[in-house]
Amino acid sequence: MNNKQSQDLNYKAGQYATVDLETKEDPEGPLRSFTIASSPTEEGFILMSTRIRDTPFKKKLASLDVGTLNMTAPLGKFVLHEDYSKIVVFLSGGIGVTPFRSMIKYATDTQLPMKITMFDSNRNQDNILFKDEFEEWASLNRNLKSIYIDW
Ligand SMILES: Cc1cc2nc3c(=O)[nH]c(=O)nc-3n(C[C@H](O)[C@H](O)[C@H](O)COP(=O)(O)OP(=O)(O)OC[C@H]3O[C@@H](n4cnc5c(N)ncnc54)[C@H](O)[C@@H]3O)c2cc1C
């Protein structure tokens, strides 16, 4: 989602939205939730990330043309706490890292004084999502540490 639409979307780092592909072909239904992986400090776009697997929803998603996508307003309470003296520990596996991208980017851009350690587990080094960005932000944010575990 780009430009004007993303400026109108008021969300907190870590929130998600439910997307409606309006398809009748998927026995699991047309709705799936996706974290907004961008940060409110990133202007001009909204980022949602997924892995395209061989499921009806993902196949339909991958086949969409550029255009309009129906989704709910941002939802969810999985957001950063406001007591900055409390340390933050994120445990993530695979695509589950999406809310942490949003929260870490937000904490870095706004120079929040909270200490954040993220443990991110993946099948192998090549599967680490957003690794370059996390490394860049760790160089800007001395309160941030990212630890990667691969199997
Ligand atoms: C609050 C919230 C936030 C979410 N954020 C994200 C996000 O940022 N990115 C994201 O990709 N997903 C996210 N999800 C999960 C997302 O909503 C879908 O459930 C997921 O992407 C799988 O959808 P699907 O249509 O491919 O599979 P479905 O049609 O829902 O599942 C079909 C079957 O495929 C199998 N299956 C599906 N996925 C996997 C898998 N990963 N490994 C093994 N088997 C599997 C299961 O057996 C399942 O029964 C979020 C969910 C919630 C509730």
> pLDDT tens digits for 18-63?
999 998 889 999 999 999 999 999 999 999 999 999 999 999 999 9
Residues 41 and 8 in one domain: yes
- Is 74 inside any structural domain? no
- Is 71 inside any structural domain? no
pLDDT at 109 over 80: yes
Give the Cα separation of 131 and 87 in Å (integer). 22
Tell me the residue range of the domain where 131 lies: 88-150
Domain boundary among 23, 46, 63: 63
Which amino acids bring their CB within 6 angstroms of ligand 1? 16, 28, 32-35, 49-51, 53, 55, 57-58, 95, 98
Note the pTM of the prediction, 2 decimals: 0.90
Share of residues in the chain with pLDDT > 90 (%): 85
Domain boundary among 63, 78, 97: 63
Cα–Cα nearest to 71, from 27, 103, 37, 36: 36
6 residue type, one letter? S
**Number of domains the chain is built from:** 2
Cα–Cα nearest to 37, from 85, 103, 108: 103
pLDDT band at 7 (very low <50, low <70, confident <90, very high): low
Residues 56 and 94 in one domain: no
Residues 57 and 106 in one domain: no
- Is 105 inside any structural domain? yes
CATH number of the domain to which 102 belongs: 3.40.50.80
Under a CB-based contact definition with an 8 Å cutoff, are residues 129 and 35 in contact? no
Pocket residue to mutate for ligand 1, from 26, 54, 55, most atoms within 8 A of Cβ: 55
Q: How far is the CA of 86 from the centre of ligand 1 (A)?
A: 31
